[in-house]
Each structure stands twice: as structure tokens, then as C-alpha cells.
Amino acid sequence: MNAPVVPWQIRLEAPADMARVEALNAESFGPGRFAKSAYRLREGVSPIAALSFVAVENDVLRGSVRFWPIKVGGHEELLLGPLAVQSSQRGHGIGIALMQAGIAAAQQGPWRSILLIGDEPYYTKVGFSRLPPGRVKFPGPVDQNRILGLSLKAGEILNLSGQVRRAQIDEAVCADGAGVG
Ligand SMILES: CC(C)(COP(=O)(O)OP(=O)(O)OC[C@H]1O[C@@H](n2cnc3c(N)ncnc32)[C@H](O)[C@@H]1OP(=O)(O)O)[C@@H](O)C(=O)NCCC(=O)NCCS
């Protein structure tokens, strides 16, 4: 069966898209987004360019997804999000298509798994499932039922455990040789 014809295209985010992506995220999540646990993990860390995708229609930005590197129990993993679709364009499959593009690209890389904090009924559509409560600990208060994971290599989310930290902080600690337990 042929795939349905859609008016938008998914492509890698380019440097010229950055301002539009930031504006879409501001509009979709509001100023409260900076206080969220996931944003603390992104602070001062760049998204992974090879996993940042946009949906565009005639050069109009319709949606965006980015992935951040994080450390879980000392291993580098991925954090999905923000994922945002222009409010007038929701419900047409753009969010799912963006995530599928990102997940397919991530499967080509060295990572074992993707984590996110979000609504399970939505993210199960692309293969995420709830982690057993208490296995990973995000900074700040997080509803355990919203911690979801996806294995990029068979069964890897079952191996996830420990503190979730910002990637760069752990790298700096390692570089100093002054790691704390
Ligand atoms: C969440 C969001 C990205 C979804 O994008 P979208 O392009 O509308 O989603 P899709 O069209 O790919 O998927 C739509 C399907 O998912 C369902 N869905 C969407 N959001 C959902 C949610 N929060 N919980 C459960 N199901 C959801 C829809 O009901 C629809 O189901 P159907 O196909 O059975 O009718 C979009 O609504 C958005 O930008 N919201 C604001 C920002 C946000 O909350 N982002 C996610 C947190 S990081």
C-alpha cells in the first residue's frame, strides 16, 4: 500500500530554522517550560544536530523535534523533546512522523535507549513504554507514570537504572578525573 500523500516534509533542522523552532517551543510550552525537570537536563547542553528534525510545508515551519544527550547511571542515553506541532496543524500525523524520523536516525548511532517524560497513550504509538517505578531518577519532582523509554537495541531499556544527569556535567567531572560516586 502506498504511504498517504502529505503536504509537509520532514527534514533535518538547519541553523536557519533555530529562531522559528525556539518560537514554536515558546508558543507550545509557555514560560513554565524552563522550570521542568527535562529543561534542567538541557540547560547549557546542545541538542544533537543529527537527531533534530523539522516538518515544513512550503517553507513554513509546522513542527519540530529535538533530542538531547543525557547520562543515566553513567551511560549516555537520549532524551526526546521538545516535540511541538503548530497548534493549527495538530492531529495530522506530524508529531508521529517527526518522532519516527528521530528514532530511525538514533537507531544508526551509538545510543542504547531514549527516555522522555510525557503522556504514555501518545508515545506508545511510536513504541515507548513506561519504566518500572523507581528505576531511573530525574532531577526534581517527576510523575513516575510519565517516565517512558524506548530501546534502540533489543531490550536495553531493561538495563536502565540510576540518576538522570546532564551530559555535560558528567563529561566535565570525568575530564577532571574528580568524579564523585
Ligand atoms: C503533542 C503534539 C506534539 C502532538 O502532535 P500532533 O502532530 O498533533 O500528533 P499526531 O497527529 O502525530 O498524533 C495524533 C494522535 O495522537 C493523539 N494524541 C495527541 N496528543 C496526545 C496526548 N497528549 N495523549 C494521548 N494521545 C494524544 C491524538 O488523539 C491522535 O490520535 P489518533 O491518531 O488516534 O486520532 C502536539 O499536540 C503539540 O505540539 N502539543 C503541545 C506541545 C506538547 O505537549 N508536546 C509534547 C510534550 S514534549
Spell out a b/e string for 3-33, using b for 16 or more CB atoms within 10 Å of the CB, else e. eeeeebebeebeeebeeebeebbeebeeeee
Mean pLDDT of 135-159: 92
Q: How far is the CA of 59 from the centre of ligand 1 (A)?
A: 22
**Are residues 52 and 105 in contact, defined by beta-carbon separation less than 8 angstroms?**
no
Q: Which residues pair with 150 in a beta bridge?
A: 114
Read off the pLDDT band of 175 (50, 70, 90): very low
Q: What is the pLDDT of residues 18-47, one digit of tens each?
A: 999 999 999 999 888 777 888 889 988 999
Collapse the DSSP code of 77 into the 3-class scheme (helix H, G, I; strand E, B; otherwise coil) and give the result. Answer: strand
Identify the pLDDT of residue 1: 64
Q: How far is the CA of 26 from the centre of ligand 1 (A)?
A: 17
Identify the pLDDT of residue 171: 43
Q: What is the pLDDT of residues 79-129, one digit of tens each?
A: 999 999 999 999 999 999 999 999 999 999 999 999 999 999 999 999 999
- Among protein residues, the one with the nearest Cα to ligand 1's atom 5 is 95
Calpha distance 122→41 (Å, rounded): 22
Q: Is 123 within a domain?
A: yes
Residue 179 has pLDDT above 50, yes or no: no
Q: Is 1 within a domain?
A: no
Q: Is 181 within a domain?
A: no
Contacts of 1-6 with C-beta under 8 Å, sequence gap 24+, read 6/92, 6/93, 6/97
Between 180 and 133, the more confident residue is 133
Domain that holds residue 143: 9-176
Q: Is 103 within a domain?
A: yes
Mean pLDDT of 134-149: 92
Mean pLDDT of 152-180: 69
User: Average model confidence (pLDDT) for the chain?
Assistant: 90
Identify the pLDDT of residue 180: 34
Q: Is 4 within a domain?
A: no
Read off the pLDDT band of 6 (50, 70, 90): very high
37 CB less than 6 Å from ligand 1?
no
Residue 172 has pLDDT above 50, yes or no: no
Pairing state of beta strands 60-72 and 53-57?
A: antiparallel
CATH of the domain at 143: 3.40.630.30
**Are residues 38 and 81 in contact, defined by beta-carbon separation less than 8 angstroms?**
yes
Give the global pTM.
0.91
Q: Which grid cell is 30? A: 509557555
Number of domain units in the chain? 1
Q: Is 63 within a domain?
A: yes
